[in-house]
Amino acid sequence: MSRPLRIEYPYAYYHVTCRGNEGNEIFRGVEDRKEFLELLSRSIELFEVQLLAYALMPNHFHFLVCTPKGNLSSFMRHFNISYTGYFNRKYKRSGHLYQGRYKAFLIDADNYLLEVSRYIHLNPLKIKSKIPPAKRWQDLLINDSTSLPGYIDLQRRKPMIHYATVLDYFGDDSRKRSKDYKTFVAEGIDKDMPSPLEKGKGTGIIGEKDFIEQFSQSYGRGNQDKKSYREQPALRKLDKIATPDEIIDRYSQLTKLSRNELTTKGKQSTERIMLMELLYRLCNITQPEIGKLLGDIDYSAVSQARKRFYLKIQNDHETAERFKYMQEKITQMSRVKI
């Protein structure tokens, strides 16, 4: 069976994991984890990658990352070589530290980002232990083996972690959203929830049907030529062609509606929903960010609106053609300074 192809484009989200060769440890002590995080921070800065969550286990690690530059492979290659070099020098060894290439799942962020972050943060609890579950949970809240402590306690935050991307799903109140996220993660202990990674087996994509369909033509199972991102028109369309403000202004010109009409809650619902979809596709911003731009509405309302719009363009030819026209016109306007 062929392995899923790497799918890379700007502002893509991934779950990344890498295991020690033959199941061996990749951390032999606290100093190794410390060096690992320092090298990770340098690589993040160098490749302009956003790290949302991590978990360090004795023989493997998990990352949740966003790649504004569409450069996951370059980032991971540089980082893994850096840490392997450190590890081999320290322990006077040679050869591979990791078992083959890293594994990466592309994530439908609006539907699975929270689930994947919870899966990563709870990963240490999957190891069998004689320590009572309650004690292990309390240790997890203060142990730097994961990024969870920074989500719960502002004093424990690390500069290299982008906490806001996940926490924005829980509102604006910094204290309340940290508390709500803690509750959300804790629910994963009590409830026997399936791993979100199961969703990605076979395709390499953790996402809903409409998200997966965006890549089916260019990166389907039958596509064996492994064309690069630059050669993939479908993926090139996913690049960030303009800022959200620019998209709103251009859409306003096309619809003859004022910015206030488009961004005020409760007004021009059909036009606003189309604008939501355009912002999502052309800017690659998250649903909480779209909600803030269009009347400070909850991300779940944006999600439901987009799902309704997706069904509408599947069944209403006139709406589908108008949406296609708007998307093409805004893309053309982005190529010409207005």
Question: Which band of pLDDT confidence, cut at 50, 70 and 90, is reported for residue 261?
Answer: confident
Comparing C-alpha atoms, which of 253, 303, 249 is closest to residue 276?
A: 303
Instruction: Encode pLDDT of 184-214 as tens digits.
Output: 999 988 777 788 998 888 888 999 887 887 7
Is 240-333 the same fold as 12-212?
no
Domain positions in the chain: 12-212, 240-333
Residue 222 confidence (pLDDT): 43
- Give the whole-angstrom CA distance, residue 154 versus residue 160: 14
> What's the whole-number mean pLDDT along residues 133-137?
86
Say yes or no to pLDDT of 226 above 60. no
* CATH, range 12-212: 3.30.70.1290
Give me the pLDDT at residue 212, please: 82
Nearest to 271 by CA among 292, 282, 256, 286: 256
**CA 290 – CA 292 distance, rounded (Å):** 5
pLDDT digits (tens, 9 = 90+) for 26-58: 999 999 999 999 999 999 999 999 999 999 999
Indicate if the pLDDT at residue 100 is higher than 80: yes
Q: Which of 129, 118, 128 is nearest to 152 (CA)?
A: 118
User: What's 240-333's CATH class?
Assistant: mainly alpha
Of the candidates 187, 209, 207, 189, the one whose C-alpha atom is nearest the C-alpha of residue 197 is: 207
Least confident window among 16-25, 109-118, 167-176: 167-176
Cα–Cα dist 136/126, whole Å:
11
Q: Which residue shows structure tokens 């993939």?
A: 232
Closest CA to 228 of 9, 14, 1: 9
Span of 121-125, 245-249, 321-325, 327-331 with lowest mean pLDDT: 327-331
Cα 104 from Cα 64, distance rounded (Å): 10
Please, which pLDDT band fits residue 105 given cuts at 50, 70 and 90?
A: very high
Helices marked H in the chain — which ranges?
30-47, 72-90, 109-122, 133-140, 148-152, 164-167, 174-190, 209-219, 233-236, 244-255, 259-263, 269-283, 287-293, 299-315, 317-335
Q: Which residues pair with 98 in a beta bridge?
A: 20
pLDDT in tens, 298-331: 877 887 788 788 778 877 888 888 988 888 888 8
